[in-house]
Structure 1
Amino acid sequence: MGYSKHQLYWFCQIFGWTLLIAVEYFVYWLEEGFDPDMFYLAIANIVLGITLTHLYRLTIRRWNWVQLPFFRLAPRVLASVLVLALVMTVVNFPVDKQLLPDMILNNTSAFLAYMLSWGKVMLTWVLTYTAYHYVEQSRDAEIEKILLKSSIRETEAKVLRSQLNPHFVFNALNSIRALVYEDPSKAQQGITQLSNILRNSLLADRRKTVELREEIKTVEDYLALEKVRYEDRLKAHIDLDPRTLYWQVPPMMLQTLVENAIKHGVSKVMGGGFVELTSRLDEPDKGDSMLHIRIRNTGKLGDKEESGGFGLKNTAQRLELLYGSPAKFDIYQEADDVVCAEVTMPMQSDSIFRKADKVMS
């Protein structure tokens, strides 16, 4: 069983002062023999040393000295050493003069020598204790800084995960409204699909990642609603490697990219166009396996504002927050009338391949 810092402190206090005084008393005992008065003085010095240094500990903790800059901390430490050494000297010097009249000189130089001796002991203790807490305080501040940074990043990630284009909701409701009289069953199906997307959008704020197969269901619902609006002008195709179905991906990310492909690509072409989503694994048998998702669509890549700048920036930021540098996002003009967006991300769980193998077997 490990010791707490409080228990360790008292162990070091008692053991350290006992060892220090015992060594000095042992030297005297070898030279002069056992002396009860010196033995009691040794016990008193142990108690006094522990008491004084503990008072210093209470002071430094009460006024939080370790947070002070060095030029303000150093004078306080030196003053404390002088006070502690002075108290030990004032208590011990008169007693030693009585017990050791032949060894103690009754003059100022002897007093200063006594004080210097105790000063070295106190300086060692004070510097050790203060340095320990100074390092510990710096470490705690660094940990707090990291936790704060992590909290900020998590808040940013939640905001990015919760984005859903209100224009899509408006257009989807208009499309469903048009179907209410023309095809009630299809309108009912459209309402179900829209509710699925809205539900997943709300859940996205609570989860960092979802399985790819779950994200694809959202994309399929979205494409089905857009087919109502664009009819034959929109052709969609999804081709997934079965081994990627359980790969963890940011929720609503692919829906955002597909929405961007239709809004800034297919919708601007007179005869409509296509959206194609594919997934594959890069070296799945190695530890550095990567998931590659590609979204191709009809269109031309303009500047960021014309090509869905916020949605693309959203995707890049979310990947950076979740995976760091291993994750990549790129969008480019693949052909004269084809835009390609590629997402690469690392694996988050070793259980992915086990689940995928179970599905394929």
Structure 2
Amino acid sequence: MMERSSARRFWIANALVWTLYVGVSIGLGGAFGGASSGLVLISAALGFFLWIGSGVLRMLAIRRGWFGLGGRALTLRLVAGIAIVGAITQAGIAAILVPALRLRWVALPGGGTPYGWGPVTGYWINTCVVLGVWTAAWVGRRALRRARDSEIIALRAESERGRLELEALRARLNPHFVFNALNNVRALILEDPDRARELVTRLSATLRHALEHSQREWTTLREELAVVDDYLAVEAVHYEQRLRTHMDVDPAVLDARLPPMALQLLVENAIKHGIARTAGGGLLSVRAGRAGDALTIDVVNPGRLDASTSGTGVGLAFLRNRLRDCGGRFSLEERGDGVHAHLEIPR
């Protein structure tokens, strides 16, 4: 719809430009060479052919994707198109003018037929110059509009990313997680002060990482595992024997990069939708390795995949957005041993 509206505006502007050009040509020709019916015919035919030719040239440029090419490729195609349209325009004028002169329907100052290799070359060059100026005008305007639209799209994407980051940050500061941790700290203060101090330290490290995650584009698996270790230590106090964990990490991928909070998000999701909803809890398994040049992470929990755990939450939406930017992949599926979250990040 927008392209159709743009085409309509172009054809109107195109008609106005060439109508003005015809009027100026007739006026200047009459002022310097004397008014004549032949001059009027030449100017009118020239304006008509250029109106059609410039419209066809624009249509070809759009339909064949010339604007998606580099500047040099676009320029070469436009120059060739201008040369061809100029030649067709002069051929069309000659096809109309020569018979009209011979039949004496029109006349030119001085009489005769103004055609020869020299004059024809001059007419063609002048036509190409005029058409080239108009072509440069609408191409430049379209390029500016495309640049503006691209900037708007980029700003919208950045705004959406910022929104997802903010929502993901809010999700990471889960009040239930914080409240449970604080209640556990309170309960441990008198029973086991040393364990209470350790829990406060672990909780502090988890929250600090959550607050700082938006300041970094990437982290290492080693750093992410340290955060997950703190997080699991806090949750272990709450779930006790219901939460069992197994880590299988290839030492060769410890320095591999991944988005901050990516692994912690999957672990938290596994506890929230798997361990917490399964009678007696279960085993949360984390495996990290390499497939080719990509880092692969699998987080398995004993839950089930339903409408509430299908991966449509804010946190997973943020993760998918980050992975799309870097060419990574994410999948969530239910198998015989539980729900598998698979993360793949190119090197």
Which amino acid letter does the alignment assign opposite residue 74 of structure 1? N
Asked if 1:131 is matched to 2:138, the reply is: yes
Indicate the larger mover: 183-192 or 321-330. 321-330
Q: In the TM superposition, what are the counterparts of 1:130-169 in structure 2 within 5 Å?
A: 130-162=137-169, 163-164=171-172, 165-169=174-178
Query: Post-superposition shift, 1:281?
Result: 0.1
Partner of 2:236: 227
Pairing of 1:195-234 with structure 2 (within 5 A): 195-234=204-243
Mapped contact 2:202–2:234 kept (Cα < 8 A) = yes
1:301 partnered with 2:304: yes
User: How many corresponding residue pairs?
Assistant: 260
- Residue 109 of structure 1 aligns with which residue? 37
Moved more, 230-239 or 166-175: 230-239
Task: Give the whole-Å Cα distance in 2 for the aligned partners of 1:109 and 1:272.
Answer: 97
Gap change, CA 1:319 and 1:117, over 3 Å in 2: closer
- Asked if the contact 2:298/2:340 (under 8 Å) is kept, the reply is yes
Paired amino acid for 2:36: T
* Gap change, CA 1:235 and 1:330, over 3 Å in 2: same
State the 1:76 CA deviation. Answer: 2.2
1:339 correspondence with 2:343: no
Q: Distance in 2 between matches of 1:107 and 1:261?
A: 88
When the two structures are superposed, what TM-score results if normalisation uses the length of structure 2? 0.64
Distance 2:21 2:31 in 1: 16
Q: Is the 8 A contact 1:330 1:343 kept in 2?
A: no
Distance (Å, rounded) in 2 between the aligned partners of 1:115 and 1:278: 78
Partner AA of 2:225 in structure 1: I
Query: Residues 308, 108 of structure 1: CA spacing in aligned structure 2 closer, same or farther, 3 A cutoff?
Result: closer
1:54-73 matches, within 5 Å, as: 69-73=9-13
The DSSP-based 3-state class of the residue aligned with 2:214 is coil
Q: Which amino acid aligns with 1:109?
A: S
For 2:32, the equivalent position in structure 1 comes to 92
- SS of 2:240's equivalent in the other structure is helix
Q: Secondary structure at the match of 1:205?
A: helix
Give the gaps of 5 or more residues in structure 1.
1-65, 94-105, 284-288, 348-361
Q: Deviations over 1:294-320 (max 9, x none)?
A: 1123x3304132x47554x63255224
Give 1:218 shift. Answer: 1.3
Identity of aligned residues (%): 32
CA contact (8 A) 2:161 2:318 kept: no
SS of residue paired to 2:295? strand
Given that 2:185 and 2:200 are in contact with CA atoms closer than 8 Å, whether structure 1 keeps it comes out as yes
1:118-175, Cα deviation, whole Å (9 max, x unpaired): 9764742443333332442343244234423432442244235422122111111111
Partner Cα separation in structure 1 for residue 29 and residue 259 of structure 2:
69
Amino acid at match of 1:137: L
In the TM superposition, residue 220 of structure 1 has moved relative to its aligned partner by: 0.6
Query: For 1:292 and 1:114, how far apart are their aligned partners in 2?
Result: 72
* Distance (Å, rounded) in 2 between the aligned partners of 1:318 and 1:83: 62
Alignment root-mean-square deviation, CA: 3.2
The equivalent of 2:187 in structure 1 is 178
Which amino acid in the other structure matches residue 335 of structure 2? Q
**Alpha-carbon shift at residue 254 of structure 1 (Å):** 1.9
Q: 1:206 to 1:134 in 2, by over 3 A?
A: same
Q: Among 314, 329, 332, which residue is 1:330 paired with? A: 332
Question: Which TM-score applies when normalising by structure 1?
Answer: 0.62
Q: Distance in 2 between matches of 1:295 and 1:302?
A: 14
SS at match of 2:25: helix
Deviations 1:164-201 (A, max 9, x none): 12211111111111112222222222122112111111
- Is 1:78 aligned to residue 18 of structure 2? yes
* Cα 1:184–1:113 shift into 2, 3 Å: same
> d(CA) in 1 for partners of 2:30 and 2:136?
24
Report the CA distance between 1:251 and its aligned residue: 1.9
**Residue of structure 1 equivalent to 2:196:** 187
Q: Is the 8 A contact 1:295 1:340 kept in 2?
A: yes
Task: List alignment gaps of at least 5 residues for structure 2.
Answer: 1-5, 48-125
